[in-house]
Amino acid sequence: MIDQNNMPEQTITLAGRGSRLGAVLIDSVILIPILIGIAMVTGFWDYFITRAANGIPLSLNENLIAFLVGQSLFLLLNGIFLANHGQTIGKRIMKVKIVDMDGKQVGFLKLYSLRYLAFSFISQIPVAGGLLSIINVLFIFGKPRRCLHDLLTGTQVVVHA
């Protein structure tokens, strides 16, 4: 029988800002080329570039489709890692993971809906969304190294050996 009182306490080490940035960059380097490839194959790329060159914004439906394709691809690439380990591909490579404030794994639905989906959706709002996205990221420079999405979700990113 294992005596729970004599077990060593697990130490939680917050992930460094550099490893968190590295994880986001890795995720982006994987995701963006695939999204561009999908856009090129479907013809959306030429359509988008032509409209952008002429200063014509995408319609609400077009933005919604692009958003849903992006979220679907994100989940396809990272869903299993997030559900099983609290990691995206980039976080896995950088050896960090997302946990709650007690160091325990966070449920997938909470993790995805609050930490990723909510902020991705908010970032789509013209001007205000971009401003909130910048504020979200700048929060990492505080002492607890937690972005707004971490505060909303009750998570922290820690070193994972």
Distance separating alpha carbons of residues 1 and 24, to the nearest angstrom = 43
pLDDT tens readout for residues 17-29: 999 999 999 999 9
pLDDT band at 11 (very low <50, low <70, confident <90, very high): confident
pLDDT tens readout for residues 66-93: 999 999 999 999 999 999 999 999 999 9
Cβ contacts of residue 111 below 8 Å, gap of 6+?
Answer: 82, 86, 98, 153, 155
Quote the pLDDT of residue 2: 45
Ranges of each domain in the chain? 13-159
Nearest to 105 by CA among 160, 149, 65: 160
Quote the pLDDT of residue 161: 74
Average pLDDT, the chain: 92
Asked whether the predicted pLDDT for residue 145 surpasses 60, the reply is yes
Tally Cβ neighbours within 10 Å of residue 111.
Answer: 20
